[in-house]
Structure 1
């Protein structure tokens, strides 16, 4: 072959290859967006079907909590480890493996015949979902390294993630109304298959030749601490928090947390670099992450029970009511970004947290206006969602932007881990507070007719939405009370219990907003 022919062939190959790169990037972006959609839907659509799961799987209130917490705790466990594994063995390889596992776990969730099997399946789903989340950020960063394309890619990912979170309640409500609860999970089997095919075609493999070692001790001690604290809050109320077994679990969790700190401050490449907490912008923004999970995201787990059981709405109506809570999180992030540029995150993040607090306070006021229905709390839902929308993006940008570029990935990992850890703990804590609030109201109304009743067990059933549980038979017989009369008392107790959660959310997020403002305004400590 002549040299001129070789040159001509090379030009033709190059002419074909040049448009292939943008096309491949587009396919990779679609795969990333579908993975983000699946992750978001599993957070926001499942809470709508929890009242149904409690009935069809014959679960109790604590099992309902664990259906959500199994996902969040497993997700937290793998977040930091996945980045290291992806750097070492290949981001595309780990991403594809995570998608495949997520599809299998979703299939198993839909096949579950009791709460225990569903919880176990949710552990696998949460671990694979967390791995997907970390990998998709790494894939975007490698596939779109700079310029306007990078900005558009991350913007598209953020929009799709927000759509999944915002419309998840409506999707879950529609599925439960038109089909059955299994399809809330099985829908992800098809999505996972499509995502897998697109990822194989479009995602480019990449590795970090300087990948650090896996921090196994850090993972183990942090996971043990979180699991122990959540178990103590969720299970401790049954036998009393001062019971020997409960105190032993609490002590083991505290020891695990101390060991985690010791490990992370003495190894060469920790997954948590505690020195970043000395950067006031990082710490102030991190309190924004914590504040959102002390209020907004933890409460979304219980809000469907409020709309469906306390207020008597159907699944679709409850999903529509939840849109008032979630849709503002889609509308307000662009506004939050512009306000952050004008007024600085140091002002906007605390202001956003206080806006969430005012929203929860309005929800509490609305819940006390008798049986006015969902309309009474929707203004507070809208305001809380707006506050979340104003806060979320500035928090993410500030945590990663307040440290040097080589520590941005670690800072992002700490931010995401803080979100998942505080979400898991507050799901458990809000569940405990709800049961306690319902129990106190039931005792006040029915205490004179009690006959060796376990108030905690009775309140747990009512809090799960079973307004006339089997445990109520003795009280109804002693008081010559009809089931309709007991249901009215239970409904009132449930509304009262939810009012307590709304007030708790308002106080907690407002205090964290004030703390965030004080840290932002404080003096920097050299990192």
Structure 2
């Protein structure tokens, strides 16, 4: 019974994590209307959470190992509840962004700890497999049904309840965890790679800030060049620090393992196109198609639900044909889905076929990617491999939320200038249209401009994920037949990889 209640606590935490990722995009048009949020501010409502998760993700495993996984888990749950309350009570978009960043810090810590708790509380074998299956299903349900849950909360109550609902779930989770989660530590836990954490965070934040704010800053301005220089220096410093650190967050030598690198292209590919588009689809449905909140939530189910239904088939395909075929195939299928959505926007047809194919393809790809990134390295490196996998997903997601937003605004801006050469500040109008605002323009001009913007965004997603599918294919096929049971080629083994105990328990 104790383990069962602990599992319920972990699953509730996973549910909150999944809901928080996929329910918030639905409220973007509402935030534009009620908080008068600009398009760039709407981007930061999502990206603040993602960047904060990335910042804390790698550190939490080490802290939990040293100070107790149950203790850090409970602190993270309490913090998630409090920061959700802060988001729900925010009276301005600025405070909402601050709340989202703090919520992301606690959410990333919570996600890392719950994986470690499952690995230590449940004995290896059938019990652990069932526990991880329950966690995965619950997290997937949160992701899949998040859009309709968010839409219903907005329709029945207000946008604040998309955040406030987590306060009640957090209280229940905290009570269950306090009495049933077993405390555990790692006596061999290493010191936190603080320098690596800081330089990685500065690199990702600098890149995202430049993508979202570069045009308004002026690309030739000294301020923009200063941020670019700081970002480049931080990136180079991160690589240097990690290559010299005795227990690095990112041990770059694992990239010599071709199966790991090939699977990592899958992690990047899924978050290059599929999940960033989730941020902007509600704007298309509501502003471009005239859907209400609930209709938008239901339309988004076609995009997210297939991701829940296809993983069993993905596992069967991987068992039969191998990850080296399944992962690139899944990425190519996502590209096909995006091309169908691109054609649907251009021809004024339904996005449904493309959305279904993209969602199903992601469902086929996700589990093989996770299993291969952790399974292709020696057992004592699985935690670090898992950390790299999750970090690659979140970093790609943050950067592409910004990139897709910039492409959307640029496409709308170009369309407005073609259609209305006499228009005044086309760039400002483009940002308002991209944010879901109702703009007084001649009939059909705003909707046509929005369609042009989405066409460019979808084409970018399709070409990008197709290129990553090709990269994955090449990485897998290069010496794939020479890999031994540990996932290394003979040449890889000839060049020893430094041992590290970083986040072993986060691997599950």
Q: Normalized against structure 2, the TM-score is what?
A: 0.94
**Which whole-Å CA distance do the structure 1 matches of 2:315 and 2:167 have between them?**
35
**Which whole-Å CA distance do the structure 2 matches of 1:263 and 1:97 have between them?**
30
**Which whole-Å CA distance do the structure 1 matches of 2:107 and 2:262 have between them?**
28
Gaps of 5+ in 1: 1-22, 469-482
Q: Deviations over 1:439-487 (max 9, x none)?
A: 000000111x23xx2322221111101131xxxxxxxxxxxxxx4x535
The answer as to 2:418 corresponding to 1:490 is no
Contact 2:340 2:354 (C-alpha < 8 Å) held by counterparts? yes
Larger Rg: 1
Contact 1:332 1:386 (C-alpha < 8 Å) held by counterparts? yes
**Which whole-Å CA distance do the structure 1 matches of 2:429 and 2:319 have between them?**
51
Q: For 2:266, which of 278, 288, 292 is the aligned residue?
A: 288
Q: CA deviation at 1:145?
A: 2.8
The answer as to 2:173 corresponding to 1:199 is no
Contact 2:18 2:146 (C-alpha < 8 Å) held by counterparts? yes
Gaps of 5+ in 2: 480-488, 498-508
Query: After the TM superposition, which parts of structure 1 deviate over 4 Å for at least 4 consecutive aligned residues?
Result: none
Q: For 2:11, which of 33, 36, 58 is the aligned residue?
A: 33
Contact 2:217 2:223 (C-alpha < 8 Å) held by counterparts? no
Q: Normalized against structure 1, the TM-score is what?
A: 0.91
The answer as to 2:135 corresponding to 1:157 is yes
Q: For 2:463, which of 507, 524, 527 is the aligned residue?
A: 507
Contact 2:325 2:473 (C-alpha < 8 Å) held by counterparts? yes
Q: Deviations over 1:41-67 (max 9, x none)?
A: 000000000110111111100000000
Q: For 1:458, which of 417, 423, 429 is the aligned residue?
A: 429
Q: CA deviation at 1:184?
A: 0.4
The answer as to 2:233 corresponding to 1:237 is no
Q: CA deviation at 1:246?
A: 1.3
**Which whole-Å CA distance do the structure 2 matches of 1:419 and 1:368 have between them?**
30
**Which whole-Å CA distance do the structure 2 matches of 1:32 and 1:124 have between them?**
21
**Which whole-Å CA distance do the structure 2 matches of 1:97 and 1:136 have between them?**
12
- Of structures 1 and 2, the one scoring higher in RCO (CA 8 A, sep 6+) is 2
Matches within 5 A, 1:355-434: 355-370=333-348, 372=349, 376-434=350-408
Q: For 1:443, which of 404, 413, 417 is the aligned residue?
A: 417
* Aligned residues between the structures: 483
RMSD between aligned residues: 0.9
Matches within 5 A, 1:82-121: 82-121=60-99
The answer as to 2:468 corresponding to 1:516 is no
Matches within 5 A, 1:289-304: 289-304=267-282
Partner of 2:122: 144
The answer as to 2:282 corresponding to 1:311 is no
**Which whole-Å CA distance do the structure 2 matches of 1:427 and 1:275 have between them?**
29
SS across alignment from 1:302: helix
Q: For 1:467, which of 438, 458, 480 is the aligned residue?
A: 438
**Which whole-Å CA distance do the structure 2 matches of 1:513 and 1:240 have between them?**
34
The answer as to 2:244 corresponding to 1:266 is yes
Q: Deviations over 1:71-112 (max 9, x none)?
A: 000000000000000000000000000000000000000000
SS across alignment from 1:301: helix
The answer as to 2:331 corresponding to 1:331 is no
**Which whole-Å CA distance do the structure 2 matches of 1:44 and 1:413 have between them?**
22
SS across alignment from 2:187: coil
**Which whole-Å CA distance do the structure 1 matches of 2:241 and 2:455 have between them?**
42
SS across alignment from 1:58: coil
